[in-house]
Amino acid sequence: MDIVKGYEKEFEQLVEIYEKNTNDKSLRSTGVATIIVSGNKVVGLNSVKGMHIKSKERADGLVMIDVEIEDNTIIPIPVHLCTGFLKKRGEQILKFNYIIGSNVKVKFKSHCILTKVEKLHHYMESDMYIGKNSFVTYEDEHFHDEGGGVFVETITKMKIDKGSFFSSKFYETKTRVGRISVVMDIELLKDAKADLESKIYGREDDIIDIKEVLRLNGENSSGIAKSTVFATDRTKAHVVNEAYGNAPYARGHIECNEIVKGYDVEVSTLPLLKVLNDKAELTHEASVGRINQAQLETLMAKGLTEEDAAEFIVNGLLS
Amino acid sequence: MLELRDIKYSKSGNEIIKGINMKFDEGKVYCIVGNNGVGKSTIGYIIMGLNDYKPGEGKIFLDGKDITELSLTERAKSGISLLWQEPARFDGITVENYLKLNRNIKKEDIEETLKLVNLEPSRYMRRYVDKKLSGGERKKVELASCILLKPKYVIMDEPDSGIDIMSLDMIVEVINHFKKMGSAVIVITHRKEIAMNCGYSYLICAGKVFLEGDSKKIVSYYEKTCDNCGHVNYLEEE
């Protein structure tokens, strides 16, 4: 691991917070590809065979990171992307550019550690191209400050080439959200598959905006976009799921489940399905409301109180 | 003993249960039979105390104590349990966690129970209790859940629905398992093979107990008369 001189302390602090929240000790391991960003500085980098990472910090605060993975590369241990902010206030702007070759197998684990801030705007823009017949998974977990002063904005645009599979999991369930806006826009070429899942737990006056778009442009491409939001207290949540069936035998499914608890919650969901090819097939499923009564009664009939039953159900949904 | 005295229940102005009396002793197997729509499941829900099934009149006694006003959770804690006809599905909850339900239950006990309901533990423990389970698999998981609750009174609402015909023997075995445990088993069913294994039966017609007694006699009467009858309002028409 190359730790930038003078930033050893920040590196240690971020790794400690990460380990405390996840019990995962792999960030310090030499065999693990890692990118660690603190504020507007890349403080730690470690690459593995077949993977190339370049970073650049601009004077205006923008941090640019290019990740390239060569064709036919299999990375057996997940690649860690750790972005953190250790000051009380500020802005963090990140731009990731991924080029993933053909026949690649890789898993990214992204963690956003924003637990010590009072007011922060974290903006992350990512572009990802996945070559042919590759298998890529991306897990993104966020840890925010409990004061609610974090505003996270992420925009991801992707192109998945022939025969590749991409899966994404975005979780913000363990700490307060603050304000979050997640946009994920994916183009799928022939025989490509995508599976997107986001789970967010809103508390107090959190604001949640999710937009997931599947552009099924290739023949026999398929995708699922599923969002689950548990909105409590005065949370405002708005979810938009879109799927475009533009090619023969393209199949897409979008699903949004928003569970509310509290009288001042405001939630909405907007599905959009558009078919431009008569052989494409799109479906959607949505539910907004209280915890399902049949589920509650099933558990209460086993002796759980209504509160315990609700917690049991929500823990399952957000797990 | 669990006892229903003069229970009446109405929904949207319609009287569905019209004054029924029933008694259930621990360690015995009972059957509630009758055509579709006569109120069999409603009786089960009233005993369990589901939210929309509070009786308008009458009392329910458990070991001499009036439990009519007890909530669903309190009744479950008193030892009453319900095997749902169509159990709910749960995203993100594994079979193992569903069966544990925040309690300290040994893994071996869970595995043993899964085997009893014809589910191979290694194949099912980590699966989710969600839509991916077939109707029959979900029903078997629910049976396992009921067994692990060790209820004093278990209401089995159509235990064979959604389950393949090959598993009927397993259901009879589970009923006998409950009996051995000392539970009172209240089986709501149409199926002769299951009803014949019960000791005492109540034949329900139009929200009333029309006949009661030895299961073989009741089932025989039901087969000859009610099975072909087709209507559900016998008493009203009479």
Q: Which residue has the tokens 């005993």?
A: B47
How near does any CA of chain A get to the CA of B79, in Å? 9
* Residue A287 forms contact with B (CB below 8 Å): no
pLDDT band at A145 (very low <50, low <70, confident <90, very high): confident
Q: What percent of chain B has pLDDT over 70?
A: 95
Segment A170-178 shows an average pLDDT of 89
* Residue A308 forms contact with B (CB below 8 Å): yes
The encoded tokens of residue B229 equal 């009858």
Closest in A297, A304, A316 to B90, CB measured: A316
Contact A185, A156 (CB under 8 A): yes
* Complex prediction ipTM: 0.92
Rg (CA), chain A: 20
Q: Who wins on pLDDT, A187 or B190?
A: A187
Closest in B72, B77, B102 to A312, CB measured: B102
A300 → chain B, closest CA residue: B73
pLDDT at B47 over 80: yes
The encoded tokens of residue A311 equal 């917690």
| Residues of chain A with C-beta less than 8 angstroms from the C-beta of B73 | 300, 303-306
pLDDT at A166 over 70: yes
- The b-or-e profile of B83-117 (16+ CB within 10 A means b, else e) is bbbebbbbbbbbbbbbbbbeeeeeeeebbebbebb
How near does any CA of chain A get to the CA of B103, in Å? 11
What would the pLDDT profile of B18-33 be if each residue is shown by its tens digit? 999 999 999 999 999 9
What would the pLDDT profile of A24-50 be if each residue is shown by its tens digit? 888 777 789 999 999 999 998 889 999
pLDDT at B138 over 50: yes
How near does any CA of chain A get to the CA of B224, in Å? 36
| Residues of chain B with C-beta less than 8 angstroms from the C-beta of A299 | 101
Closest in B51, B76, B92 to A317, CB measured: B92
The encoded tokens of residue B145 equal 């859940």
Q: Which residue has the tokens 């595995």?
A: B111
- Angstrom distances, CA of residue B18 to CA of B34, B185, B202, B205, B206: 15, 23, 15, 10, 8
CA dist., res. B120 & res. B109, Å (int): 13
Are the Cβ atoms of B76 and A301 closer than 8 angstroms?
A: yes
Mean pLDDT of chain A: 93
Q: Which residue has the tokens 């039979």?
A: B33
| Residues of chain A with C-beta less than 8 angstroms from the C-beta of B71 | 300
Closest in B77, B87, B91 to A298, CB measured: B87
What would the pLDDT profile of A253-285 be if each residue is shown by its tens digit? 999 999 998 889 999 999 999 999 999 999 999
CA angle, A87 then A89 then A91, to 5°: 100
> Please, what sign has the CA dihedral across residues B40, B81, B158, B218?
negative
Closest in B72, B81, B101 to A297, CB measured: B72
Amino acid at B109: D
CA dist., res. B124 & res. B147, Å (int): 17
pLDDT at position A20, please?
Answer: 83
pLDDT at position A290, please?
Answer: 87
| Residues of chain A with C-beta less than 8 angstroms from the C-beta of B92 | 315-319
pLDDT at B236 over 70: no
* Residue A3 forms contact with B (CB below 8 Å): no
CA dist., res. A178 & res. A208, Å (int): 8
* Residue A294 forms contact with B (CB below 8 Å): yes
Contact A270, A277 (CB under 8 A): no
- Angstrom distances, CA of residue A252 to CA of A139, A216, A282, B213: 21, 8, 5, 57
Are the Cβ atoms of B48 and A293 closer than 8 angstroms?
A: no
Are the Cβ atoms of A319 and B81 closer than 8 angstroms?
A: no
Residue in A199, A297, A311, A315 to test binding to B, most B beta-carbons within 10 Å: A297
pLDDT at B233 over 60: no
Residues 6+ apart with CB under 8 A from A217: A187, A188, A189, A244, A246, A247, A250
| Residues of chain A with C-beta less than 8 angstroms from the C-beta of B132 | none
Segment B55-84 shows an average pLDDT of 95
pLDDT at position B238, please?
Answer: 40
| Residues of chain B with C-beta less than 8 angstroms from the C-beta of A228 | 91
CA dist., res. A232 & res. B22, Å (int): 44
How near does any CA of chain A get to the CA of B48, in Å? 7
A311 → chain B, closest CA residue: B102
* Residue B54 forms contact with A (CB below 8 Å): no
Domains and CATH numbers, chain B: 2-230 (3.40.50.300)
Are the Cβ atoms of A308 and B102 closer than 8 angstroms?
A: yes
Stretch 115-174 of chain B: residues touching chain A, C-beta under 8 Å: 145, 149
Amino acid at B107: K
Residues 6+ apart with CB under 8 A from B69: none
